[in-house]
Structure 1
Amino acid sequence: MNYDIFNGDADGIISLLQLRLANPVESKLVTGVKRDIGLLGKLTEKVGLSKTDKITVLDISMEKNQTGLVKVLDAGVDVFYADHHRAGEIPTSKHLDAHIDLDADTCTALIIDKLLDGQFHYWAITAAYGDNLIAKGDKLSNLAGLSVELSEQLKELGTLINYNGYGAIVEDLHFHPAVLYTALLKYASPFDVIADNSSPFYRLQNAYQEDMASALAIKPDHQSDKLSIFELPNEPWARRISGVYGNQLANQNPKSAHAVLTENRDGTYTVSLRAPLSNKQGAGDICSQFETGGGRAAAAGINALSKEQIGDFIKAVEAFY
């Protein structure tokens, strides 16, 4: 059995999309909302794996999946692993094919793009845009000879796929990430998605515009020259928009860090932190100081931050930047 394990955001979906367009195989899809990253451990808890199985893991932190990874490697299962998040100690095993790049200007889909020699390069550019690597996406679009209009189309599609991944539970999302991946797999080019009026692009476009309008009406709860914090309510629209809203805020004011706090059902907050675009480092390290936090240098998050910890979070961010 083949198992494809991937993050439910644009980078995870498009990473797998490129691999399976290049090498179609029947597989069991394992994914979830963007913050559901302990996916390898969940698989090992539910499934008895054998040496004939093959596992592909894309765009989830190896550090957060160490226990599950070691378990499957010790069982003799071959694992292909590509990611750009905190890796921790990479196991030494003949069964592990690891492609880890922690550079703040890359994403997993760009790692896959290199491995495939740019076979589905437009999809990789779309993923870069979706992961808020706007300058990188613009550079790649320019090198690919795309017009501004076409690069803006890829930027919008990437943003919409990424937007769909945010939510506390899959019921918050417009498409389960596995369903969205499967729907997109029939398109060799992202431009084919946009050309098809029945594709997920148009449903996501309308929903995104509605949710973003609600977010833009929110005033900041904290604002300094180093950090702006926006608090969103415990509503499905707020959980959906939190990440891409944080990206938009970062793009509007590149010299400041931004955090979007979305209230959880238990009174804690889900945090999306964006490092200043002029200093894309530290976000993962800051969030990792808190029990449920993690991420990468430019963008990170905390799954459950108590109200009492907000002051500590502000101090940590402003001390770093």
Structure 2
Amino acid sequence: MHYDVFNGDADGIIALLQLRLASPKQTQLITGVKRDIKLIDKLDLTTQDSLTVLDVSMAKNMDGLLAALEKGIDVFYADHHQSGDIPTNPTLEAHIDLDANTCTALIIDKLLAGQYHLWAITAAYGDNLIAVADDLADAQGLTLEQKEQLKELGTLINYNGYGAKVDDLHYHPADLYQALTKYASPFDVIADTQSPYYTLKDAYQTDMDQALSIEAKYRSDKLGLFELPNNAASRRISGVYGNLLANQSPDSAHAVLTENADGSYTVSLRAPLSNKQGAGDICIQFETGGGRAAAAGINRLAKEDVDTFIRTVEEFYP
């Protein structure tokens, strides 16, 4: 059995989409909500299996990865999150790039020599690499309208990945990936009125309107912090809402707190776009935190630790 293991956000889905459009293969899909990243551990692997792993932190999957490599399993791994020490093993092909201005789909795009470049641009937009995506789109000669279309599609695919559980989502990420595999170009998705684009577009606007009606819980020149209520709409919109806030005020960090059923918060943190570093370093200081330089999160932050979180963010950025 070959397993395709991938993050359920725009970057993970589109990275795999490019690979399988270029090299179709019968595989078992392993994915989940965006924060469900310890995916290799879920597999009961045999020596006859093989793995493709995309857009999930190698550091968070190290135990599962090492177990697979000990069995002699071939592993193709591409990612831009924290990796830890990359194992040296003849059955591991690792393409890890921690640059804050790249994403997994762009790593795959390079490996495929731009075969599905428009999809890679869409993923970059979805991963909030707006300036990078704009430059790539301009190099392709895309019009302003076409750029906005790819940005919206990438944002919508990314929006679908956020939730505490799959039931929060409009599409299971595996189902969304499979629905997109019939489109060689992202513009084909937009042209098809029966595609997931239209379902997600309507749902996104409803959820975003709720978020935009909420005032900041805390604001300084270094951080804007917003608290969303405990409901599925909040969990769905939290990440892309954080991206929107970051783009509106690029010199400030932004945190979106979504209340969990146990009274704690799920945190989405965005580094200032003008200084895309530190988000992962900040969040990893908290027990359930992690991420990358530009964007990171904490799965459970106790309410009594919010002040500590605010202080940690503000002390990081001078």
User: Normalization by structure 1: what TM-score?
Assistant: 0.98
C-alpha deviation, 1:41, in angstroms: 1.1
Other-structure match for 2:19: 19
Aligned to 1:35: 35
Q: For residue 77 of structure 2, what is the aligned residue in structure 1?
A: 81
Question: How is 1:108-187 mapped onto 2 (pairs within 5 angstroms)?
Answer: 108-187=104-183
2:247 is aligned, of 247, 251, 254, to 251
Q: 1:287 aligns with which of 283, 286, 307?
A: 283
- Tell me how far apart the structure 2 counterparts of residues 94 and 166 of structure 1 sit (CA, whole Å): 35
Q: Secondary structure in 1 aligned to 2:267?
A: strand
Q: Give the length in aligned residue pairs.
A: 317
Q: Provide the C-alpha distance between the structure 1 equivalents of 2:177 and 2:46, rounded to a whole number of angstroms.
A: 26
Counterpart residue identity of residue 39, structure 1: L
Any idea what the Cα deviations from partners look like across 1:258-290, whole Å, max 9, x if unmatched?
A: 000000111110000000000000000000000
Aligned partner (choices 219, 231, 234) of residue 235 of structure 1: 231
Which position in structure 2 is the counterpart of 1:306?
302
The residue type equivalent to 2:158 in the other structure is N
Partners of 2:189 and 2:162 in 1: how far apart? Answer: 21
Q: Distance in 1 between matches of 2:267 and 2:167?
A: 19
Contact 1:262 1:269 in 2 (8 A): yes
- Residue type of the partner of 1:154? L
- How far apart, CA to CA, are the structure 2 residues paired with 1:307 and 1:72? 39
Distance 1:145 1:52 in 2: 45
CA contact (8 A) 1:263 1:269 kept: yes
| CA RMSD between the two structures | 0.5
* 1:71-106 deviation digits (Å, cap 9, x = unpaired): 000011000000000001111111100000000000
Amino acid at match of 1:97: E
User: For residues 231 and 180 of structure 2, what CA distance do their matches in structure 1 show?
Assistant: 28
Identity within the alignment, %: 71
Matched residue SS, 1:158: helix
Indicate whether 1:196 and 2:189 are aligned.
no
Give 1:65's match in structure 2, choosing from 61, 64, 67. 61
SS at match of 1:229: strand
Q: For structure 1, list consecutive stretches of 5 or more residues without a partner in the other structure.
A: none
CA distance, structure 2, for counterparts of residue 73 and residue 106 of structure 1: 27
Q: Any unmatched runs of 5+ in structure 2?
A: none
Of 48, 51, 68, the residue aligned with 1:55 is: 51
Contact 1:30 1:39 in 2 (8 A): yes
Distance 1:313 1:59 in 2: 26
Determine the C-alpha separation between the residues in 2 that align with 1:151 and 1:119. 19
- SS, match of residue 80 in structure 1: strand
What's the secondary structure of 2:273's corresponding residue?
coil
- Preserved contact between residue 50 and residue 76 of structure 1 (Cα < 8 Å): no
